[in-house]
Amino acid sequence: MGPWHALLSYPKGGRAWIGWSQGLPPAGERLGGQAFLLLFREGPRMLLSAAPADAQAPTSMAMLPDLPATHHARKVLGHDLMRTPARIGAKYFYDQRGCELFEAITRLPEYYPTRTEKALLQARGADIARSVGPCTSLIELGAGNCEKVRLLLSALQPQCFVGVDVAGDFVQAAVERLAREFPGLEVCAVEADITAPVALPARIAAEGRLVFYPGSSIGNFDPDQSMTLLRQMRTLAGAGGGLLIGIDLPKDLQVLEAAYNDAAGVTAEFNRNVLRHVNQCLDSDFDPAQWAHVAFFNAAHSRMEMHLQALQAVQVRWPGGARAFAQGERIHTENSYKYPLPLFLQMLTQAGFKACKAWTDERDWFAVIHARA
């Protein structure tokens, strides 16, 4: 049974969506009203801010079985599972548990990217701020726990921080913590899948925007999708704005492979957890215990790959679909491209950015790049 949503209309024409969490109240109780969970998904969080401030009670309420965005996501998920090989979009890693597991990954001894990038931001913060110039709003894509931006706030002194993430509740909690720690900083959370153009609240000024996309998350996209994304980021930054982006660089195979095959098995758990999230979104019946974590470097594409491999013959069902997996068959769950710095600078130029400045650590493992929009 999929999620249900209510469209609320307010006296002065405002509209808001309310959703019931998937799977919690059984179907018969959904209309009872007592199991109301405020779960604003994708577009709805934006629509809510369009409700008039003085709206207290909705004047009408329409029940909808599903949001168009959710419907579309389910179609894509089902379609991707029917491919050979099957695949799952990397954004599905990040449900609440997935966000927590990813946080644990960033603290693993083998997982060098986060610590290397943080050290770079810390050491080069003043240089970065000089290169960026005046910054009115700092817009972080895939902000997650908003840990990295803390390292930039005092150097950049923005008026406003906007955290954008697919995990809406997770990033909302993070920006609230940030607001408590940095009095005077305006904060805002936007739940959005950044592969579509991101709509910001109207109060975010068009001038002085710095788009921040750290963590080498751009590596999750194929090169052509990355180009589309970079162009969208340039549009989001606007004239006079800029992009500050972190990329993981190619390096020794052992170092790369260890980072995605940690001894404690956290990455394996993170990989398997994607199936729990898919079960939530698609009402499928994956059993994560039937799948093994596989991660390796694909040199031909200069990317780390993660897969889930069936430990036995597996039968998976969901409304409107089913798939049989043979023992040993894989689902491709992630690519993490490692671009040589000159190649990535070329991509930025091709996307229309100018005057790039790059900082790397002493081992040349990671780069932080500032590009003018």
For ligand AVJ, the binding residues (CB under 6 A) are 105, 113, 215-217, 219-220, 260, 267, 334, 336
Query: β-strand 86-87 against 291-298: which pairing, if any?
Result: unpaired
Of the candidates 240, 217, 247, 232, the one whose C-alpha atom is nearest the C-alpha of residue 351 is 232
Query: How far apart are alpha carbons 256 and 297 in whole angstroms?
Result: 7
CA separation for the pair 3, 6 (Å, rounded)? 10
CB of 15 to ligand AVJ, least distance (A): 34
Closest CA to 71 of 294, 329, 281: 281
Instruction: Return all residues near 54 (Cβ < 8 A) that are at least 6 apart.
Output: 12
Nearer to ligand AVJ, 93 or 353 (CB): 93
Residue nearer to ligand AVJ on the CB measure, 112 or 318: 112
Measured distance CA(9)–CA(63) in Å, rounded: 12
Q: Which residue's CB is nearer to ligand AVJ, number 131 or number 273? A: 273
Contact by Cβ (8 Å): 5, 19: yes
Cα–Cα dist 89/92, whole Å: 6
Report the first-to-last Cα separation within the chain, whole angstroms.
45
Q: Identify which of residues 18 and 105 has a Cβ nearer to ligand AVJ in the complex.
A: 105
Q: How many Cα atoms are found within 13 Å in the side-chain-facing hemisphere of 71?
A: 7
* Least distance in angstroms from the C-beta of 229 to ligand AVJ: 13
Shortest Cβ 102–ligand AVJ spacing (Å): 6
- When the beta carbons of 172 and 220 are compared against ligand AVJ, the nearer one is 220
Residue 298 CB, nearest approach to ligand AVJ (Å): 13
Minimum gap (Å) between residue 243 Cβ and ligand AVJ:
17
CB of 13 to ligand AVJ, least distance (A): 40
Three-class SS state of 185: coil
Residue nearest to ligand AVJ as judged by C-beta position = 336
To which residue do tokens 């260890």 refer?
Answer: 258
CA atoms within 13 A on the CB side of 67: 23
Residue 30: Cβ-neighbour burial (10 angstroms; 0-12, 13-18, 19+): middle
Cis status, amide bond into 109, omega within 30 of 0: no
What minimum distance in Å lies between the beta carbon of 111 and ligand AVJ? Answer: 7
Would you say 220 or 284 has its CB closer to ligand AVJ? 220
Q: Give whichever of 83 and 107 is closer to ligand AVJ, judged by the CB atom.
A: 107
Q: Which is nearer to ligand AVJ, 160 or 259 (CB)?
A: 259
Least CB distance from residue 93 to ligand AVJ, whole Å?
7
Give the DSSP letter of residue 300: G
How near is the Cβ of 292 to ligand AVJ at its closest, in Å? 15
| Interior/surface letters 121-155, b for 16+ CB within 10 angstroms, e for the rest | beebbeebbebbeebbbbbbbbbbbbbbbbbbbeb
Cβ closest to ligand AVJ, residue 199 vs residue 343? 343
